[in-house]
Amino acid sequence: MSIGTTSAPQGGQGQQPPRTAVVVEDEPTIADAVARRLRAEGYTVETAGDGPSGVELCERVNPDVVVLDVMLPGFDGLEVCRRVQAARPVPVLMLTARDDETDKLVGLGVGADDYMTKPFSMRELVARVNGLVRRVERARALVGAPAPSAEAMRFPVSDGELEIDRAQRRVRRAGAEVHLTPTEFDLLVCLAESPRTVLTREKLLEEVWDWADASGTRTVDSHVKALRRKLGADLVRTVHGVGYAFEPTGGQETS
């Protein structure tokens, strides 16, 4: 097992402590490059080179975000993601060498929030990592917030009611709780706040991922597919060539 550490600069970050990122990648060149770039962005970065050490490192440092390769020695990144998320929910950006939609859906299914295909742009990786961290921080700020910003949304659906509790970040369909990743939850809220309104992929990237780049629209498509697998295909309508619309049944949302 190989574990390395690079520390964030101690300069003017105010009173906010540096965010911690864990990079689990068995290719030293890639791991070092990602660590250096995140360090330059103010992160404290620790790295691991295989699955078991990646899990141990996440348990030890409780990172704010994890950058995780799919193909790892020991056990793969999917198993790392399962174990890390079981211990403590944390935003995970997965790196994959295969541009295969099935692989990406599997990754999202075990708790990853986003993915990038190698080779990738360091600038885009930093943007996605920062977006993941900002969404978690916004979610923490919302917990306990007064209505109306945190009030639950309820919609009639084919088998009862869909409830989206923004304060507790919980979703129930027909009384059964549905476990969503932070990104899936934010995507659902973004769509549900404008029912029956078509939102472009670019708009969803801007609102949910905090970055606008047309090259990332396939990320939106994969997350919508993952959301449909968990909530049912009837809730999100595809408008081909444009984007997606949230489509509850039976009229307007209830109070």
Tens of pLDDT along the chain (255 residues) come to: 444 544 444 444 445 678 999 999 999 999 999 999 999 999 999 999 999 999 999 999 999 999 999 999 999 999 999 999 888 889 999 998 876 666 666 667 777 888 888 898 999 899 889 988 987 787 676 655 554 455 789 999 888 899 999 888 899 999 999 988 878 898 999 999 999 999 999 999 888 877 766 666 778 888 898 899 899 988 999 999 899 999 987 444 433
Whole-model pTM? Answer: 0.72
Q: SS3 string of the chain?
A: CCEEEECCCCCCCCCCCCCEEEEECCCHHHHHHHHHHHHHCCCEEEEECCHHHHHHHHHHHCCCEEEEECCCCCCCHHHHHHHHHHHCCCCEEEEECCCCHHHHHHHHHCCCCEEEECCCCHHHHHHHHHHHHHHHHHHHHHCCCCCCCCCCEEEEECCEEEEEECCCCEEEECCEEECCCHHHHHHHHHHHCCCCCCEEHHHHHHHHCCCCCHHHHHHHHHHHHHHHHHHCCCCEEEECCCEEEECCCCCCCEC
